[in-house]
Chain A
Amino acid sequence: MATKPSSGDRATKAAAIRLEHDRAERKRKLGLMAGVIATIAVIVAVMVWATQKNSGSVELPKVETSVGDHSLKMGPDSAPVKVVVYEDFLCPFCREFEESTRDFLLAGAQDGKVQVEFRPFRLLQDEYSLNALNAFAAVLASDPQKALAFHDYAFDEQPYEAAPNKPTISDLRGWANKIGVDKSVTAKFDTVDQAWVDAANKAAADAKITGTPTILVDGKKLEGATIAEMADNLEKLIAAAK
């Protein structure tokens, strides 16, 4: 570079300093922005991870189970609180109820505080609703503990109500296989046990159940404007019982 008069030299120096300053300032701003955005991303990721349930495992729930009258019972007969759950495998709010109450109901049943009677029946006039119920009935007849695992799994995997390609009977068989249900049992998934389905539906009709999920606690209908509210009320009722 050619030497410049001293006044120009000063101007160049000043410009260089300003440039350096601007560069540092831009660097600081970029760093700050990146920092804020990265912090937001981390907060979201951690919170999602924290609220996520570790589903996917197909371990059998370690709890006393028994076969009721076209129903599955979880928890001992001696439990002070008796909960009855009327549900349909395809009903969206039943899925929400299942996912929001499963942990504390299982814990309560293990502690002998609550006995839950699951009464799935066919409310929705959909092929999937019937096939899932029929598969559940077959597993229940062979092993109630595996029926509980199958019931939970089916709600975890619930398809969209309007989906054109819902899980097929062979998909249901795949779920049962993961749980360890015997082949001789899953073979029964193909034929609908209409007598069982009718009896389950009649039991619900006799109890005047017109919608799902309907939950009875010691014979009284569980109140709540939303599923979240119902779940909270149920948890409190069980906690309050001795």
Chain B
Amino acid sequence: MTQITHKQAIKWINRRLDGMLTEGQLFLLDEHLHSCDTCRAYAVEMDSVPARLQHEFRARWDPKPGPSPRVMQHVTTKARNIPMTNRISSGLKLLAGAAALLLLGFAINFVVSQLPGTSPTAAGTEMANISPRPEDRLLAFTSNQNGNSDIYTMLPDGSRLTNLTNNRANDEYPFWSPDGKHIAFMSDRDGSVQIYLMDADGSNLIQLTEGDGNYLLDVNGFGPWSPDGRQLIVSHKPSEEQSWKLYVMDVKDKTIIELIQEPGEYILPSWAPDGEHIAFTSAPSARTVREIYVVDKNGKNLTHLTGNLPRGDAFLFGSYSWSPDGKSIFFTADVIGTQRGTYQSTRYQASLDGTLSVVTRTAQSMLDWWDGTALVRDLEGTPSFTWLRSDGSQSTVELCASSDQVSGIAYEQSYAGDSVLGLNCSTGGWVLYWANSDGTITNRLLSSRIPAEYDSIFNMSWSPDDNFIAFIAINTGAPDVTEALYIVNVAEARNDPDVEPLKMEESYGPSWQPLPRPFP
């Protein structure tokens, strides 16, 4: 048994107070303290300091009331002039920068981005044995519990947990193929991040991309697979570049088609249901106002769908959805810059040639719209949500406590149309609610809460049988980002809110194995 010195013990006693010891170090320190009276006495003394401080701080500051109303009054009055001041300041900066840019523009003729070639190393992919029963659908996800990321599958109750990659490299973000037989994922086993493909049981591994730079699959929403399971949307950044390009890759012969020539920040790419077009969002800089584009799957006919929005309307980085026939895209734009009481959200339908038509308008922030029903949120800060129906009826519910502020929202509709809504209420963390499709019934789904330490809920997705919902709770405030995968048995929780969700620490990137379905 390794022993530690007194000096080491003193150092570790201090480090332990800041949570900086490993399990092994804690064990060795514990051993030492059992046999050393001096160090034990020191540990007791040091342990008493945090407790005393917490007590003193709380006794001194907790009883003080919050800030007076003058703070709100002062800030809101002063803040009114900020946009104008910023515009003037930006204008001056622009003028100064314009001359420099002009000179630079002459110097730069063109930028050629050469995509590295991919050598075909085709391998056979034996089909895994797939159960046709919806309740046997596996959940694939990434877990970092063993110190490096690996891809696992399991049934939604946590059984049949299998490590598919079991590799010392980082293997992340599995995406099931539409037939539920293969999994695409990212790995840095080759040094840089590349895309790989394997069967549902982890066999028949194929490296799809190779060469300079890194290749990524978009992890923000729609998944990379074409509806026929033959192609993947991938993004690539050569090692010496700062920006990304979007490509479509054929998984069989590994050929690649460039979707957009201009490098940039492209996220949320998605396939049209008919597999003929691809939509994606882009922003010229790291701003929340984004643009939606659509392009043919062969990279031709790039169209700027949000280019014809009326002045003042902006697509504020929300999501978008395809019409079932793949001929148009729905999205919500908000009028920005309006004064209190004149808020306006508009649901647009954009044809693939960029023609816009208004589906509906609301005076509150629209979270979602489907089949004539809009879910809107009160922007005044109260936790109030309203379902507005096409027949003119509506139902408003106040979720959380009425005095709560909502600092985060997660929302996902099931295949049948009902939905789960997660709200980060200011008193005590995230509360999950279930609502039927038109909002006439809204109930709290779980008695327990998702802890407040997680500031976001992300990647919310329903199981193919609509019985389970999986999501990631993530603490983006921590520099090293902590996250956990939650799986809620919605069918069970609706009868008994006291059921506990399944929680997998240090896990993320859930992907449900789809039910095999015919390609239209």
Answer whether A and B are interacting partners: no
